[in-house]
Chain A
Amino acid sequence: MRRHLTQPRIVVGVLVLLGVLFVLATTHRAGGDGGGDLSHPGGFVGWLGHRFGGSPDADRADLSAPCLQQDSLTVKDGTCTVTVARSDAGQRNVRLRTDSDVAVQAPAPGRDTLVRSDVEAGATVSVAVGGDGADIDVICAGNRTCTLTLVTGG
């Protein structure tokens, strides 16, 4: 008889406990709707990225541009378009180190949206390109000559 009374009490207790746990889990919201520093997501997501590894660098043979000679791009007062060929390798990175202030414009990988990033002299910009390839515009405005170096490995 006592067992008939005890078991439902335990069930009610467990259900209340689970309900409280759910309320706590639902009401706890970390970091609001923002994303913090998206250039260096640390913590759990950073750890995941470290485990899975990033995208490989694009194969040099897949890159072509009128301003590209060996591993160097020379852009004189205007825009040079680097074409990244389609590849089965999936997403790849084209990393460029610049000696002058330039702007780099390319579609977001797998999307039509164009993204433009201003890069300061001495910095390296990494352009992610999807498996379908893409055109990367390197813009060197003003009466200047900008030199960029293709960074591979490391």
Chain B
Amino acid sequence: MDRLRTPFFLVALVAMALVVCVELGEHLIVGGFDAGGALTGQAAAAGLQVPAGGQVERPAGLGIPYLALVDAAALFTVALMAAGLVVPQRLHGRLQGIVTLVFAFLLLLAAIGLLVLAVAKLILMVTLLLAFPFGTIAYLIGFGFFPRGTAAVILSLIMFLKLVFAGALTAAQQRFLQNKGLVLLTLTSLLVTIAVSFLHGIVPGVLVSITDAIAGIVCAIAAIIWAIVLLVGAVVAIVTAARATADTARSTALAAAAPG
């Protein structure tokens, strides 16, 4: 019962790796399609004349790629556990703290940078939308036709892979459930996916880019919190490892100095 079932663990690792790949490659699938006809229709409904034939692209959005910030933390945690299967335990114990510190620091920097970007984009979109009619048209051209159907399909795939991840991790070793950090990180990952999907659905289609940016902000804040948690954990691990090394060295020195 206590033994790690490696195949299930590998399934969990691959599932989370796929999640991060899908999230980072989302812009290749979502967006980019011409929405010129839709713009003309929306503008006419608002009593405005816009010449037809202009290039209007569907925006790729922020919510789904920003999910990768949280899921990268989950992938990193599981990958670190997987490294323990191949790397000697003593080396793994010593490197764990330093590797986590570097990862958490980079994650924190990336999440803060992307948070600022998302807030700036949100302010730009709201300012344009409310500057009726000329700003509103600029908003429609740049952000008005978010492909939420395609986004829903990608989110469903991501959610499925995350459920596979959680199930496979539990099947691999029930003691993972006692690891509160891992359980909370997995729950955060699942909840932010639900939050992104919910935010895509609460407003009419033309306004989804705005709630999608808010979804990005939610993901970035969740990633910042987890980066800080990992950072604190890494510092504690490094201090503990340093103390253990010092104790071992002291014991060795005392043993060597002992007479006989």
Cβ contacts B107-143/A at 8 Å (1 or 0 each): 0000000000000001100111111111111101110
Contacts of A25 in B (CB 8 A): 194, 197-198, 201
Given the interface pairs A15-B163, A21-B194, A91-B128, the reply to whether A31 lies near B48 with Cβ below 8 Å is no
B133: which of A14, A28, A44, A115 is its contact (CB, 8 Å)? Answer: A115
Q: Separation in Å of the A147 CB from the closest CB of chain B?
A: 22
User: What residues of A have a CB within 8 angstroms of the CB of B201 in the complex?
Assistant: 25-30
With A25-B194, A38-B136, A111-B138 as contacts: A31 and B205 at CB distance below 8 Å: yes
Query: Looking at the complex, which one of B136, B144, B174, B207 makes contact with A8 (CB distance below 8 Å)?
Result: B174
Give every chain A residue within 8 A of B203 (Cβ-Cβ). 30-31, 43-45
How far is the CB of A12 from the nearest CB of chain B, in Å?
Answer: 8
A residues less than 8 Å from B51 (CB atoms): 113-114
Which residues from chain A contact B187 at a C-beta distance below 8 Å? 14
Segment of A48-56, A61-69, A71-79 engaged in the interface with chain B: A48-56
Interface window among B18-26, B72-80, B151-159: B151-159
Contact of B205 (CB < 8 Å), options: A12, A33, A113: A33
The minimal Cβ–Cβ distance linking A105 to chain B, given in whole angstroms, is 9
Interface residues on B, range: 35 or more
Tell me if B54 is interfacial: C-beta within 8 Å of chain A: yes
Q: B48 and A41: CB pair below 8 A?
A: no
Which of chain B's residues 191-232 have a Cβ closer than 8 Å to chain A? 191, 193-194, 197-198, 201-207, 210-211
Q: Judge whether B255 is part of the interface by a CB distance below 8 angstroms.
A: no
Q: Find residues 103-125 in chain A having any chain B CB closer than 8 Å to their own CB.
A: 106-118, 125
Whether the pair B137, A49 counts as a contact (CB closer than 8 A) is no
- Bound-state CA distance A96–B206 (Å) is 28
Chain A-chain B contacts (Cβ-Cβ < 8 Å), number: 172
- The CA of A127 and the CA of B197, in the complex, are separated in Å by 35
Main secondary structure of the interface of A (DSSP, over half): mixed
Chain A residues with CB below 8 A from B136, complex form: 38-39
Interface membership of B98, Cβ < 8 A: no
A35 touches which of B130, B144, B190 (Cβ 8 Å): B144
- Indicate whether B166 reaches chain A with its CB closer than 8 angstroms: yes
Number of contact residues on A: which range applies?
35 or more
- By the criterion CB–CB under 8 Å, are A113 and B1 in contact? no
Q: Which B141-191 residues have a C-beta within 8 angstroms of A?
A: 141-142, 144, 148, 152, 155-156, 159, 163, 166-167, 170, 174, 177, 187, 190-191
Instruction: Give bound CA distance, A38 to B136, whole Å.
Output: 7
Tell whether, in the assembled complex, residue B138 and residue A108 are in contact, meaning their CB atoms are under 8 Å apart.
yes
Task: With CB as the reference atom, state the residue of chain B lying closest to A134.
Answer: B134
Q: Is the CB of A113 within 8 A of B137?
A: yes
Interface pair B50/A54, CB less than 8 Å apart:
no
Which one of A91, A107, A115 has the greatest number of beta carbons of chain B within 10 Å? A115
Say whether A126 faces chain B, with CB atoms less than 8 Å apart. Answer: yes
Contact A30 B204 (CB under 8 A): yes
Contact residues in A for B194 (Cβ distance below 8 Å): 18, 21-22, 25
Residues of A within 8 A of B128 (CB): 91, 109, 128
State whether A55 and B131 are in contact (beta carbons under 8 Å apart), knowing that A38-B42, A113-B50 are contacts in the complex. Answer: yes
Between A and B, 25 residue pairs with Cβ closer than 8 Å are A4-B1, A4-B174, A8-B170, A15-B166, A15-B167, A18-B163, A22-B155, A33-B204, A34-B42, A35-B144, A39-B133, A44-B202, A44-B203, A45-B129, A49-B129, A54-B130, A108-B138, A108-B141, A109-B134, A113-B141, A115-B133, A117-B47, A125-B133, A127-B134, A129-B134
Chain A residues engaging chain B, CB cutoff 8 angstroms: 4, 7-8, 11-12, 14-15, 18-19, 21-22, 25-36, 38-41, 43-45, 48-49, 52, 54-55, 91, 93, 106-118, 125-130
